Amino acid sequence: MGIIETLWQILTSPPVFIPLIFPGFVTLLIVLLLLIWFERKLTAKVQMRYGPLYIFKAFGGIIQMVADLLKYLFSEFIVPKDADKKVFILAPILFFTFTLLPLVAIPISSTFTATQSDLTLILVPAIGTLAPLMVILIGWSSNNKYSFIGSLREGYIMMTYEIPMFISVLAMALTYNSLNLIEIANKQTGLWGIVLNPLAAITFFGTLLMTTARFPFDISEAESEIVVGPYTEYSGIVFVLCLGAPYVKLYVLSLFYSIVFLGGWNPLFWPLNTNPILPGLALLVKGAIIMALAVFMRTIYPRYRLDQALRLGWHKLFVLSILSVILSLVLFGLGVL
Amino acid sequence: MSISVVYPTYLSAVVEPSKVVEIAQKLNSMGFDHVKSVTGIDFLEENKIVVVYHVSSFEDDELAQFILELKTSVDRLNPRIKSLIEIWPSAEFPERETTDLMGVTFDGQPKKERLMLIDNFEGGPPLRKDFKLKTEGIDA
Amino acid sequence: MRLVAEVDGDIIIAFEPNIGYVHRAVEKIAETKTYLQIIPLVERPMLPDTASANLGYILALEKLLDVEIPQRAQYLRMLLCEMSRIHSHLYGLGIFGNMIGSSTMFEWAFADREPFLELTQQWTGARLTASFMVPGGVRRDLPPDFTGKVLKAVAYMEQRLKDYDKIFVNNPVTIARLNGVGVIKKSEAARLGIVGPNLRASGVAYDTRKVEPYCAYGDVDFELVVREEGDCYARLLVRREEMKQSIKLIRQILDKLPSGPFFAEKYAKLINPKMKALMDQSGILRFPAVFSSLKPAKGDAISRVEAGRGELFYYIVSDGTAQPYRFRMVTPSFKNVIAFKSALLGARLADVPSVYGSLDYFPPEADR
C-alpha cells in the first residue's frame, strides 16, 4: 500500500506530472498525433480529396500517424558515407529535445507548476532558441549541397524572427509588470492580453509562424526548390524526429501564447483555481485553437522567397514589435493594469 | 536560286549553300524575325543532305501570314554549313538538334554537348536513311 | 530535363537547360509507319493538349490529299481543340501552383480537369488521347444531349475561375513571388522565337488562330489576350484569361454548329454500303478500305496550329508511298527552351521554380 501511495504521490507532484504527463510527454504524443492528422484532413477537405482514410476507417483515419510512426521505426536509417556521423545522429535528437524542454516552465494552474521561478516568461522562448542552431548543424553534417543551402536559409530566418519575438514578449512583460507566467495569467481576469496589446499579439503570432516553418514561411524545407532542405539525407526514425520537432515547438509556443495573450487557464473572464485538471484543459483548448489556426495556413498561402521573408521580418515585424513596446509603456503610464 | 509557290501562304526557295547567310540577312532586315524549324532531309542515293529553314515573322502583321522555306543541299559525306545563329537567335536549339540527329555540322554554333542523344551514343546519326531502327525481339 | 545553374551566393550568373532525357524518336518512327498509324504517335508527346497535335498533323496531311472537309466536321474539330486547350491551361496552372508552394491550387486545378475528361470520353471514347480527327473529317458525331452537358461543365469552370482568383491569383504571397520575376522584354521575345502565352505576355500580339485561321476560326469571335510586362505574373494572367476566351469560344461553337455530314464525301462514298448504313445510324465512323494504305500525292506540306502552349508546326515530305519520307514536328515547348537562358540571368535561386512553372514547359513535348 505504502509503495503505491508513494508512487502516486510522486507521479502527481508538479515536477513529475507536468513534464511527463500533462502537458508533457504523454500529452505531447497524443497532441502530435491529432495535430498532424488534423492538418492532413483539413488540407484534404479544402482541396477536394479525402486525406487519411483507411486506418481505422470509422473515425476517418485518425490513427494514421501511429501507422506512419511504426513504419518509420522499422525502416533502416541510412547514414551517408561522407557525413559527419556523430553530429548526423546527435543533432536531430538534440533538436527534438530543445523544442520539448520549455514545457517544464509552463504552469497549468496558479498553484501547479514544475518550475518555481520568477523568470518563466523569458525561460520558455529562451530555451526554444537553441533549436534552430541544431537545424544548422543538421544541414552542415549531411555533406550535401541542398542541405547546406537549407541550413543557411534556416540561419538567416532565425536571425529575423528571434528579435521581434523577444521584443514583443518584453512588451507584454512591461504591460503586466512581471516576468512570472502565473502572475501574468492571474492578472488577465479583466482584459485579455490580446485586447490590451494587439500589436504584440500579432507580432508574436507572425514570429510563431516563422519559427515553426508553417506556410508561408516554409522556406528552409522548400520542397520544390531544395528537395527537403536540411533534412534531405535523413530517413527512418531520425527523419521523424526532424519533422516532428517543428510541431512540438508549435505546441509549446501555442500554450505559451494562450497564457500570455489569451488569459491562460481562466476561461472567459473569471478565475478558476479549483484543481489542476480543469484549468489545464482550458489551457489546452486555447492552445488547440492557436495550433489549428497555424496549420490552416498551409491551404491558403504559397511560399515566400527567402529575401522577401527577411524583408517582412525586419521592415514590418521588427517595427511592429518596437511599436508594441511603446504601446505598453503608454498603457503602463496610464495605469491600466 | 529559285522560288516556287506551293500554296498561297507557303513559299519555297532553293538556294546555294554559299549564299544562305546573305539571303538570311536580307530577309532579317525585311522583317522575318524568327526561325520556325530547321530540318535535315537525307537523300541516300543522290549523296546529299538537304537542310531546310522555315522562317516567318511575329511582329510584322503582313509577313506573319507567310512561311518562307529556304532549302540548301550539302554533301552527305561532309555536311557542313554556316550557322544562322548570329542573324536569328531562335535557330539555336533546332540547329543543335539537327547536328545531333542528322550529323550536319553548323559552323558558328558554340561548342556544346549533345542535345537529344546520350553522350556516348554508338552508331551514326539516327535520322539518316542507313540507320535502321532495331525491333526488339526480331533484330536485336 | 536538367537545369544547371551557376550561382554566386544567391544570384544566378549562368544558366543552362539540358534537355533530351525523354527523347522517344517520334520523327524516326514516323518514317516506318503508315499515315494513319502516325495519328496516335504524334498525340503521345503532346499531353495534355492532344487534340491540337492531332489537328495539326491532319491539316498537313489533307493538303497532300486534296480533300474538302464538311463544315460540321470543322466545327467539331474546333470544339475538341478548345476543350483540350482548357485542359492544358489547367494542367499548367496546377503545376505552377505546386512549384511555388500552393498545394491548394495544384489539387483544385487537377480536380477540375475531370469534367472535361469525362466529356471527352463520352464523346470520343478515350479520356485523353482521343485520336479523334482523321483525314476527311472526324471519327464521331456528338452524342444526344451532349450540348447541355458541355454548357454545364463550362459554367462550372467559370465559377471555378473566380475561386482560383481568390485563392491564388490575387493572393499577396503569389503576387510578391511572381511580380517582376523572369522578365522577357518585348524586343527579345520575338527574336528568341518563344511562342504561345509566353509571347503574348511579353507584348507581341501573335496567335496562329488569327494570323492564318484554320478550321472555322475565321467565323467565330474571340479576343487576343496580350499583356505588356513580360514577367511571371503576366504569364499567369494571360493563361487564366485565355481559359475565359476558350469558354466563350465553346459557347459560340455550340451555338453555330451546322448540320450535315461529319466525314468528307470523297472518302465516304468508298465505304462499304452496309457499313455506311451503320455509320449513318450510330454516328460512329467506319473507315474505308483505302485508309489502311493511304498514298498522298508527292510533295511537301506544312501546317501550323495554336496548341495550348504555343504554336505547333508540322512539315511532311511525301514521296508518294504509304510512309512519309521525312516527318518533322516542332513543338511549342521546344521553342520555349531558349527562354530559360534569358529569363533567369540575375535572378535568385528561388526564382527557378517560379519561371519554370510560368513558362509551362513540358519535357516530353520538347524532346519528342
- Give pLDDT tens digits for B92-126: 888 888 888 888 888 888 867 788 888 788 777 88
Name the residue among A43, A215, A225 with its Cβ closest to that of C350. A225
Residue found under cell 542528322? B102
Cell of B6: 506551293
Q: Are A261 and A168 within 8 A, CB to CB?
A: no
Q: Count other Cβ atoms within 10 Å, centred on residue B77.
A: 8
What pLDDT is attached to residue A50?
84
**Any domain includes B96:** yes
What pLDDT is attached to residue C162?
92
Q: Is the peptide bond before C197 cis (omega within 30 degrees of 0)?
A: no
**Any domain includes A296:** yes
For residue C214, give its domain range.
2-367
Q: How far is C171 from chain A (nearest CA, A)?
A: 7
Q: Spell out which residues of chain C touch residue B36, defining contact as CB-CB under 8 Å.
A: 193, 304, 311, 313, 330
Q: Spell out which residues of chain B touch residue C367, defining contact as CB-CB under 8 Å.
A: 116
- Chain segment B40-68, per-residue pLDDT in tens: 888 888 888 899 999 888 888 888 888 88
Long-range contacts of C281-286 (CB under 8 A, 24+ apart): C283/C140, C283/C141, C283/C142, C283/C143, C284/C139, C284/C140, C284/C141, C285/C134, C285/C137, C285/C138, C285/C139, C285/C140
Contact B65 C206 (CB under 8 A): no
- Chain segment C129-144, per-residue pLDDT in tens: 888 898 888 888 888 8
Number of domains comprising chain B: 1
Which of C214, C110, C83 minimizes the C-alpha distance to C164? Answer: C110
Please provide the average confidence, as pLDDT, over all residues in chain C: 88
Query: Which has more pLDDT, A22 or C298?
Result: C298
What pLDDT is attached to residue C57?
92
Q: What is the ipTM of this complex?
A: 0.90
The whole-angstrom separation of Cα C53 and Cα C50 is: 5
Q: Spell out which residues of chain C touch residue A299, defining contact as CB-CB under 8 Å.
A: 103-104
Question: Residue range C19-32: average pLDDT?
Answer: 88
Contact B35 C304 (CB under 8 A): no
Residue from C103, C156, C348 to probe the interface with A (highest A Cβ count within 10 Å) = C103
Instruction: Give the distance, in angstroms, between the CA of residue A47 and the centroid of all CA atoms in the same chain.
Output: 26
Number of domains comprising chain C: 1
**Any domain includes B71:** yes
CA angle B25, B30, B36 (to 5 degrees): 70
pLDDT band for position C229 (cuts 50, 70, 90): confident
Cell of B94: 533546332
Q: Is the pLDDT of residue C48 over 90?
A: no
Question: Residue range C174-200: average pLDDT?
Answer: 88
pLDDT along chain A (337 residues), means of 10: 81 79 84 88 88 75 83 86 86 90 83 79 88 88 84 86 89 84 79 83 90 83 69 86 89 90 70 66 87 89 87 90 89 75
**Any domain includes B58:** yes
Q: Do chains A and B touch by CB distance (3+ pairs < 8 Å)?
A: no
pLDDT band for position C111 (cuts 50, 70, 90): very high
**Any domain includes A56:** no
- Chain segment C318-333, per-residue pLDDT in tens: 988 888 999 999 999 9
Number of domains comprising chain A: 1
Helix (H, G, I), strand (E, B) or coil at A202: helix
Dihedral pair phi/psi, residue C141, rounded to 5°: -85, 170
- Burial level of C93, CB count in 10 A (0-12/13-18/19+)? buried
For residue B81, give its domain range.
2-107
**Any domain includes B40:** yes
Question: Residue range C335-352: average pLDDT?
Answer: 87
What pLDDT is attached to residue A336?
66
Q: How far is A149 from chain C (nearest CA, A)?
A: 10
Residue from C16, C29, C207, C335 to probe the interface with B (highest B Cβ count within 10 Å) = C335
Contact C20 B117 (CB under 8 A): yes
CATH number, position C160 = 1.10.645.10
Residue type, A316: K
Which of B7, A144, A314, A240 minimizes the C-alpha distance to C300? Answer: B7
Q: Spell out which residues of chain A touch residue C102, defining contact as CB-CB under 8 Å.
A: 301-302
Considering only residues 212 to 251 of chain C, which have any Cβ-Cβ distance to chain B shorter than 8 Å?
Answer: 212
Q: How far is B2 from chain C (nearest CA, A)?
A: 16
pLDDT band for position C155 (cuts 50, 70, 90): very high
* Cα pseudo-dihedral C254, C255, C261, C267, rounded to 10: -60
CATH number, position B73 = 3.30.460.80
CA angle C74, C77, C80 (to 5 degrees): 150
Q: How far is B65 from chain C (nearest CA, A)?
A: 6
Contact C193 B52 (CB under 8 A): no
Which of C235, C162, C240 minimizes the C-alpha distance to C204? Answer: C235
What pLDDT is attached to residue C119?
92
Q: Is the pLDDT of residue C89 over 90?
A: yes
Contact C173 A225 (CB under 8 A): no
What pLDDT is attached to residue A151?
85
Contact C23 B116 (CB under 8 A): yes
Residue from A305, A306, A315 to probe the interface with C (highest C Cβ count within 10 Å) = A305
CA angle A105, A107, A109 (to 5 degrees): 170
Q: Are A260 and A284 within 8 A, CB to CB?
A: no
Which residues share a beta bridge with A34? none
Contact B34 C190 (CB under 8 A): yes
- Burial level of B6, CB count in 10 A (0-12/13-18/19+)? middle
Which of C349, C352, C354 minimizes the C-alpha distance to C101? Answer: C354
Which of C94, B12, B67, B124 minimizes the C-alpha distance to A48? Answer: C94
